[in-house]
Chain A
Amino acid sequence: MKITLDEVKRIAALAQLDLTAADLERMRGQLDQILRYVDHLAELDTTGVEPAEGLVAGGGPPLREDEPAPCLPPDEALANAPESGAGHFKVPKVIG
Chain B
Amino acid sequence: MIAAGDRGPGKGSLLGLGAAGLRDLFVRGEASALEIATACLDRIARVEPGIGAFLTVDAEGAQRQARLLDDRRAAGAPAGILAAVPVAIKDVLCVRGMPTTCGSRILKGFFPPYDATCVERLRAAGAVIVGKANMDEFAMGSSTEHSAYGRTRNPWDGQRVPGGSSGGSAAAVAAREVPLSLGSDTGGSIRQPAAFTGTVGLKPTYGRVSRYGLVAFASSLDQVGPFARSVQDAALALQAMAGADPRDSTCSPVPVEDYAAAARTPASLEGLRVGVPAEFMGEGLDPEIQAAVERCIALLRDQGARVVEVPLPHSRHAIAAYYVVATAEASSNLARYDGVRYGARAADAPSLGAMYRRTRAEGFGAEVKRRIMLGTYALSAGYYDAYYLKAMKVRTLIRRDFELAFRQADVLLGPTTPSPAFRFGEKLDDPLSMYLSDIYTVTANLAGIPGLSLPCGFTRDGLPIGCQLLGRFFGERALLSAAAGLEAALRLQAPASAPAEVLP
A: residues with CB less than 8 A from B are 3, 7-8, 11-12, 14-19, 23, 27, 30-31, 33-35, 37-42, 44, 46, 49-53, 55-58, 61-62, 64, 72, 76-77, 79-83, 89, 91-94
Per the 8 Å Cβ criterion, residues 396-429 of B in contact with A are 396-397, 399
B392 to A52, Cβ gap below 8 A?
A: yes
Choose one: A30, A41, A57, A77; the contact of B370 (CB below 8 Å). Answer: A30
Once A8-B373, A17-B373, A41-B324 are accepted as A-B contacts, the answer to whether A52 and B357 lie under 8 Å apart by CB is no
Chain B residues, Cβ within 8 Å of A31:
370, 373-374, 377
A15 to B253, Cβ gap below 8 A?
A: no
Q: In this assembly, does B352 line the interface, its C-beta being within 8 Å of a C-beta of chain A?
A: yes
Closest to B342 in A: A80
Choose one: B207, B252, B324, B474; the contact of A38 (CB below 8 Å). Answer: B324
A-B residue pairs, 6 tightest by C-beta: A51-B392, A82-B345, A80-B342, A56-B448, A52-B395, A18-B361
Docked complex Cα distance between A46 and B386 (Å): 11
Q: How far is the CB of A7 from chain B (nearest CB, A)?
A: 8
Q: How far is the CB of A18 from chain B (nearest CB, A)?
A: 4
Q: In this assembly, does B349 line the interface, its C-beta being within 8 Å of a C-beta of chain A?
A: yes
Chain B residues, Cβ within 8 Å of A12:
373
Chain A residues, Cβ within 8 Å of B252:
56-58, 62
Q: In this assembly, does B305 line the interface, its C-beta being within 8 Å of a C-beta of chain A?
A: no
B331 to A42, Cβ gap below 8 A?
A: no
Choose one: A7, A19, A40, A91; the contact of B355 (CB below 8 Å). Answer: A91
Once A16-B338, A27-B373 are accepted as A-B contacts, the answer to whether A79 and B111 lie under 8 Å apart by CB is yes
Q: How far is the CB of B360 from chain A (nearest CB, A)?
A: 5
Closest to A73 in B: B113
A46 to B111, Cβ gap below 8 A?
A: no
Q: In this assembly, does B205 line the interface, its C-beta being within 8 Å of a C-beta of chain A?
A: yes
List 26 A-B pairs, Cβ < 8 Å.
A11-B373, A11-B376, A15-B360, A16-B353, A30-B370, A30-B431, A35-B377, A38-B320, A44-B317, A46-B393, A46-B397, A50-B393, A50-B396, A51-B395, A52-B392, A52-B395, A52-B396, A57-B448, A58-B207, A62-B252, A77-B113, A81-B341, A91-B355, A92-B352, A92-B354, A93-B352
Closest to B371 in A: A34
A92 to B350, Cβ gap below 8 A?
A: yes
Once A52-B399, A55-B220, A62-B253 are accepted as A-B contacts, the answer to whether A44 and B314 lie under 8 Å apart by CB is yes
Cβ proximity bits B342-376 to A, threshold 8 Å, 1 near / 0 not: 11110001111111111011001000011011101
Q: Apart from A34-B431, A80-B110, A82-B342, what are 7 other A-B pairs with CB-CB below 8 Å?
A: A17-B369, A37-B323, A39-B320, A44-B314, A52-B395, A57-B254, A92-B349
Q: In this assembly, does B72 line the interface, its C-beta being within 8 Å of a C-beta of chain A?
A: no
B396 to A51, Cβ gap below 8 A?
A: yes
B351 to A37, Cβ gap below 8 A?
A: no
- Interface bracket on B: 35 or more
Q: How far is the CB of B424 from chain A (nearest CB, A)?
A: 20
Q: In this assembly, does B11 line the interface, its C-beta being within 8 Å of a C-beta of chain A?
A: no
Chain A residues, Cβ within 8 Å of B357:
16-18
Chain B residues, Cβ within 8 Å of A34:
323, 370, 374, 431-432, 435
Interface of A is mostly: loop
Chain A residues, Cβ within 8 Å of B389:
51
Closest to B387 in A: A38
Docked complex Cα distance between A3 and B474 (Å): 41
A33 to B351, Cβ gap below 8 A?
A: no
B343 to A41, Cβ gap below 8 A?
A: no
Cβ proximity bits B452-485 to A, threshold 8 Å, 1 near / 0 not: 0000000000000000000001100000000000
Q: How far is the CB of A21 from chain B (nearest CB, A)?
A: 13
Docked complex Cα distance between A18 and B356 (Å): 9
Chain A residues, Cβ within 8 Å of B435:
34
Closest to B325 in A: A52
Docked complex Cα distance between A30 and B345 (Å): 28
Stretch at the interface among B48-56, B242-250, B275-283: B242-250
Closest to B113 in A: A76
Once A44-B317, A91-B352, A92-B355 are accepted as A-B contacts, the answer to whether A55 and B448 lie under 8 Å apart by CB is yes
Choose one: A15, A18, A23, A80; the contact of B341 (CB below 8 Å). Answer: A80
Docked complex Cα distance between A33 and B374 (Å): 11
Q: How far is the CB of A81 from chain B (nearest CB, A)?
A: 6
Docked complex Cα distance between A23 and B373 (Å): 12
B390 to A56, Cβ gap below 8 A?
A: no
Chain A residues, Cβ within 8 Å of B111:
79-80
Q: In this assembly, does B339 line the interface, its C-beta being within 8 Å of a C-beta of chain A?
A: yes
Once A11-B377, A17-B361, A91-B340 are accepted as A-B contacts, the answer to whether A46 and B394 lie under 8 Å apart by CB is yes
A57 to B431, Cβ gap below 8 A?
A: no
Chain B residues, Cβ within 8 Å of A62:
244, 249, 252-253
Per the 8 Å Cβ criterion, residues 93-112 of B in contact with A are 109-111
B207 to A55, Cβ gap below 8 A?
A: yes
Q: In this assembly, does B37 line the interface, its C-beta being within 8 Å of a C-beta of chain A?
A: no
B317 to A40, Cβ gap below 8 A?
A: yes
Chain A residues, Cβ within 8 Å of B474:
57
Q: In this assembly, does B217 line the interface, its C-beta being within 8 Å of a C-beta of chain A?
A: no
B253 to A58, Cβ gap below 8 A?
A: yes
Q: How far is the CB of B95 from chain A (nearest CB, A)?
A: 14
